[in-house]
Amino acid sequence: MKKTSKEFLISTIICLLPLVFGLLVYKKLPLEIPTKWYSDGTVGQYMPKEFTVFGMPLLFALFNALVHFGMNTDPKRQNIGSMMKILGKWMIPVMSVVIIPMTILWGMGYEIPISRVIPVLIGILFVAMGNYFPKTRRSYTTGIKTPWALNSDENWRRTHHVVAFLWIAAGIAMIAMAFLPQNLVLPVMGITIALLLVVPYVYSYMLYRKGI
């Protein structure tokens, strides 16, 4: 079995593992289970338990398949670093086995601090990816894919050196959001998302205008 096929098979199985747990405790679950929480721990949305037990693992498995397909068929896949491959291909399975069981346990009455765990998990991922951005080379499935960075190795390199610091800072901000008062969460989140969306494109375009 090829390494890529083995990775896909194992990661898919991991994505679906929470389904087994859900089936074991299915009769103990209420008809609706919380699937969204605010930063203060209050529930913002409920979904039928069928969606949590069956739908969520299948969605994670689908997203996992899309990631593997994209990375494995990328025309520039040889440029994707080994660590970026690991982060890209295993982040969804990890999130599946952490988030779904916690959601099910919450439905069973265990008040696990999901509103804190999820931002911390995402923040750690951002810090890890930011740390490896300077080592990435041009590809279509990883990194910051502005038109100008994809057109130039130097533009790509410089853009990712700047974005690396930005993603690390954003990751730290997300971790901090798990412990901030409710009235500060939305402003911090808004500023963080705006910087992540705007800065890479503006900087990459400025380099392009300079002929880089």
Q: What is the pLDDT, as a whole number, of residue 44? A: 62
Query: pLDDT tens-digit profile of 25-35?
Result: 988 888 888 76
- Asked if 34 and 101 sit in the same domain, the reply is yes
- Asked if 75 and 6 sit in the same domain, the reply is yes
Decide which of 64, 89, 112 is a domain's last residue.
Answer: 112
Decide which of 112, 143, 175 is a domain's last residue.
Answer: 112
Q: What is the pLDDT, as a whole number, of residue 58? A: 95
**Gap between the Cα atoms of 44 and 186, Å rounded:** 15
The pLDDT-based confidence of 189 (bands split at 50, 70, 90) is confident
- Asked if 119 and 170 sit in the same domain, the reply is yes
Range of the domain at 210: 114-212
- Asked if 138 and 105 sit in the same domain, the reply is no
- Asked if 175 and 85 sit in the same domain, the reply is no
Task: Look up residue 31 and give its DSSP letter.
Answer: S
Quick check: 152 pLDDT over 80? yes
Q: Please give the full DSSP string across 157-204, using - where no structure is assigned.
A: HHHHHHHHHHHHHHHHHHHHHTTS-HHHHHHHHHHHHHHHHHHHHHHH
Query: Where is mean pLDDT largest: 36-50, 89-103, 112-126, 168-182?
Result: 89-103
Q: Is 207 helix (H, G, I), strand (E, B) or coil?
A: helix
| Residue partners of 81: CB distance under 8 A and separation at least 6 | 132, 135, 136, 137
Mean pLDDT of 186-210: 88
Q: Minimal CA–CA distance to 72: which of 11, 157, 158, 163?
A: 11
